[in-house]
Amino acid sequence: MFRRVHGGVSWIDSKRFLDFSVNVNPFGPPKEIVEKLHYCINNEVYRFYPDPNYQLLRKTLSEAYDINEKNLVPTAGASEALYLVIKCLISRGFRHVLLLSPTYGEPEIKALAEELGAKVSFILMSETQDKFYVDLDSLIDNIKNVERAFLIVSNPNNPTGIYIDQNDIETVAELLDGRGFLIVDEAYSELSGKRGSLDLLNYYDNLIAIRTLTKLFATPGLRTGFLASGSKRLIKCLEALRPTWNIDSISSCVFSGKPLEDSKWFRRFVLDSSEGVKALREDLENGLKKLGLRVFKSETNFVLSKIMDLDPEEFYRKLYLKNIIVRNCNSFRGLSSRYFRVGVKDGISNKVLLEAIKEVIRG
Ligand SMILES: Cc1ncc(COP(=O)(O)O)c(C=O)c1O
């Protein structure tokens, strides 16, 4: 079996572990979403099929994100969005997949693309002492001669936390115009306080954005997200490939209508979350640095760090014995088990993590 490696412990293990391997909003889920969930359960929504066209969900998402309803396809989280767009583009003859690495879901994307007969190439980011970055010239060199290809970029990037400027996104979309597509996985857009590329979709037919509600609302069990594109042909292809009832009735009930349709409430929650995340992240980054770890500058709700002198396996084992889980980054291209990622949590939990790491380092 193809074994998938991801952060996030199960709800059963969550009773025992403090889990820093998952990257969700430390200020979520908001009470309004939890109340809506109870409402959906009390009304026994699970006894019914969801609307196969997700009309109310589409309307709510389109208003919340200020994009045209016709330009979005609802999906079961960002993961399904990635699968759908990969299948669509490969089936339309774009048989070369480029990944800006390290990035989310590399093994799965590679397995899927190769299974469908496409070639997969990895373009590695550059690394300095304290940050990862994308050298635009070198990226351009890598893509300027590709034909019928598409590039997948997670922005902000998981696991490095870097954010690629929208000007650079436009440059790449323009460069690929007529030959390929640019897919931007914006799973952490809201938590980093960035608008992302939704405003660019009407200008670039070959640009596709992916969003999810699982990170923002800290509800990874309610699998809801969407794909957005300004291209009618692409939307038609994605709709054709989207399975009927791809989002279950409870999740679609929670995110249709109230409270998400209240744009004032939504914007306030996004703003408060991104500001709160920034403050917590900076404290965490400083705390990790003080412990002598290498810390890579992040723009979002998780931090990539590097163990220098310790044996990484011992590091993970000792933290585990203290009931703390962090994400070992050995499954990401270009990284190794010396790199670990921690999701920003509330201030008290972050302090517990820093104290535990201090004890592990001191032996
Ligand atoms: C960059 C990125 N994209 C997509 C996902 C999957 O998100 P979802 O829960 O919406 O499927 C993740 C989850 O870790 C992620 O980090």
Ligand 1 binding residues, C-beta < 6 A: 23, 77-79, 104, 154, 158, 185, 187, 212, 214, 220, 225
pLDDT digits (tens, 9 = 90+) for 158-189: 999 999 999 999 999 999 999 999 999 999 99
Task: Note the helical H segments in 231-262.
Answer: 232-241, 249-254
- Could you tell me the pTM of the whole model? 0.97
DSSP letter at 33? H
- Is it true that the peptide bond before 52 is cis, omega within 30 degrees of 0? no
Q: Which atom of ligand 1 is nearest to the CA of 79?
A: 11
Residue 19's Cβ-count burial label (10 Å; 0-12, 13-18, 19+) is buried
Query: H or E stretch including 27?
Result: none
Average pLDDT of the chain is 97
Environment class of 208 (CB within 10 Å of its CB; exposed 0-12, middle 13-18, buried 19+): buried
Domain with CATH 3.90.1150.10 in the chain: 13-28+264-362
Q: How far apart are CA 283 and CA 267, in angstroms?
A: 25
Residue spans in the chain of domains classed CATH 3.40.640.10: 31-262
SS3 19: strand
* 85-139 pLDDT tens trace: 999 999 999 999 999 999 999 999 999 999 999 999 999 999 999 999 999 999 9
Q: CATH 3.40.640.10: does it fit domain 31-262?
A: yes
Which atom of ligand 1 lies nearest, measured to the CA of 23? 14
Go through the chain and tell me how many residues it has. 363
Tens of pLDDT along 61-93? 999 999 999 999 999 999 999 999 999 999 999
Ligand 1: distance of its center to the CA of 309 in Å?
A: 31
Q: For the beta carbon of residue 88, count every other beta carbon within 10 angstroms.
A: 26
Q: What is the pLDDT of residue 260?
A: 98
CA of 39 to the centre of ligand 1 (A): 27
Atom of ligand 1 lying closest to residue 78 CA: 10
Fold assignment, 13-28+264-362 = Aspartate Aminotransferase, domain 1 (3.90.1150)
Give residue 359 CA to ligand 1 midpoint distance, Å: 32
Distance (angstroms) between ligand 1 centre and the Cα of 107 equals 14
Q: State which amino acid sits at residue 110.
A: K
